[in-house]
Chain A
Amino acid sequence: MVSLTEEVAREAAARVVDPEMPMLTLADLGVLRDVAVDDEAVTVWITPTYSGCPATATMRDDLVRALQETGFARVEVRLRLDPAWSSDWLSDRGREALAAHGLSAPGPAPRHAGPVPLTLAPRARQVRCPRCGSAGAQLTSEFGPTACTALYRCDACLEPFEHMKEI
């Protein structure tokens, strides 16, 4: 029998994958914020990527199941809204996993001292095609199949690809 330490809980929670981008664990995505164990009860804190992220309920269910299967009798998943999730929280391993699965990883998230300025021209990004490695790509849309991605098309191989947005 595995002893139910905080380390065991952390490892079990860190293995849970994102339901929409299963090449990423919740830890790689930066959504998993904290894990605390009190006797056989475990509390997990997660920070949703977007306000309306429809995967949040599934993340909760998957965390509960993973920790119960590890042996924790009581599992509570709490939301931590502050600070807000940033694409900067994506781990290096997560960035490599995105590229390996045909998605382009985000650049640094924008930071503003004052009000966020309006951007009428397409955002300048250093995007590289995750399929052929070419540097030239055209933005098709800032909104992709999931809340956190934009759509690009490679100038060289003409394949479309998703880019995780900076936020």
Chain B
Amino acid sequence: MGAPDMDSHDANPAHEAGSVYDGLLTEEADGHWAFGTSFEDPLAGVDTTVPDGVDAGDLAAYCLMLGDDALVLCQRLTEWCSNAPDLEEDIALANIALDLLGQARLLLARAAAADAGVAPPLPEGSPVPPEDALAFFRAEREFRNVRLVEAPNGDFAATITRLLVFACWRMALLERLVGSRDQVLAAVAAKGVKEVAYHRDHAARWFVTLAQGTAESRRRTVTALGTVWPAAEELFTGHAVEQRMAAAGVGVDPGEVRGEVEAVVDQVLAAAGLERPAVAPMSGVRGRQGRDGLHTEALGHLLAEMQSVARAHPRGLW
């Protein structure tokens, strides 16, 4: 019910008991609506015991790395909503973003379940679950994604080129993670492989179409490759956490997937009539890169937009 001075204009007696829509809402069934779905744990009832001999802090950090990659690219892809070249592509990019969001939620929840200390503290009484605390209340330097995913979208060719490189790399990682000693990571990876296979095919087909399309689409694709490629080297630079998790049989040393990823990318480049560009890799700062929390300016802007509503309402229920 609104404020009394507003109600006095409403002469319809049916509205006296409240909104005419009140009957549609019940305590148990509000999940039917786009609002008031409440929070749900993506790992409800899942055994999240940390495997024997595995450092919980390392496992949490590792899950944040893979989760942040998915979350940040998801946010970038959703920027295409209503802006893609056609309606089908709008829906395709939104679907890919949704898959990545699902993977991110599972991985952030797995991080918090392994080590509750990774989630930032929230005001007393806040209903925000750990996965949301991690997504919406961490600062830029606490994000551990590779810098490839945070750059602005650029044009459609740049978006597709980045998605291609990312999907080829993530596919190789997830295929190996299916054998992780951590059963949660193994299950998330097994599902992710099926999803990323569609993402990779979609990006690869578009890449070839654009490269072999008009002179303008080819020019843009060549430019995109030159823009995206410098950030690719970081994908294969194993952080100490990744190497320790690989040694523990839980994670994957990304250096090991280089050959396989480059072979798939080369296959697409050959179909596109292009070659890997000879460009210098993006530099870090004193050896620090995205996995260390060192990011480009673009991530700060992305997070400001993504986090502003949640930060304004830390006790909010959605």
* Bound CA span A88–B193, Å: 16
* Bound CA span A25–B37, Å: 21
Is B285 positioned at the interface, with any CB of A under 8 Å from its CB?
Answer: no
Closest to B96 in A: A143
Asked if A141 and B91 sit within 8 Å, CB to CB, the answer is yes
Q: Which of A77, A81, A144 contacts B91 (CB 8 A)?
A: A144
Chain A 41-84 interface 0/1 with B at a Cβ cutoff of 8 Å (1 = within): 00101001011111011101110110010000000111111111
Nearest CB of A to B33, in Å: 9
Asked if B186 and A82 sit within 8 Å, CB to CB, the answer is yes
Q: Provide the residues of chain A in CB contact with B218, threshold 8 Å.
A: none
Is A14 positioned at the interface, with any CB of B under 8 Å from its CB?
Answer: no
Q: Provide the residues of chain B in CB contact with A144, threshold 8 Å.
A: 91, 95
Asked if A120 and B88 sit within 8 Å, CB to CB, the answer is no
Asked if A52 and B187 sit within 8 Å, CB to CB, the answer is no
Closest to B184 in A: A81
Nearest CB of A to B273, in Å: 13
Q: Which residues of B contact A (CB under 8 A)?
A: 28-32, 37-38, 40, 42-46, 88-89, 91-92, 94-96, 98-103, 105-106, 171-172, 175, 183-184, 186-188, 190-195, 197-198, 200-202, 204-205, 208, 260, 264, 267-268, 271
* Bound CA span A142–B188, Å: 22
* Bound CA span A82–B198, Å: 20
Q: Which of B28, B92, B187, B260 contacts A84 (CB 8 A)?
A: B187
- When A78-B46, A81-B191, A118-B267 are in contact, do A65 and B99 touch as well, CB less than 8 Å? no
14 contacts between A and B (CB under 8 A): A48-B102, A50-B99, A51-B195, A56-B40, A61-B30, A62-B31, A77-B44, A77-B45, A84-B194, A118-B200, A120-B204, A123-B201, A145-B91, A147-B99
Asked if A118 and B45 sit within 8 Å, CB to CB, the answer is no
Is A167 positioned at the interface, with any CB of B under 8 Å from its CB?
Answer: yes
Closest to A82 in B: B187
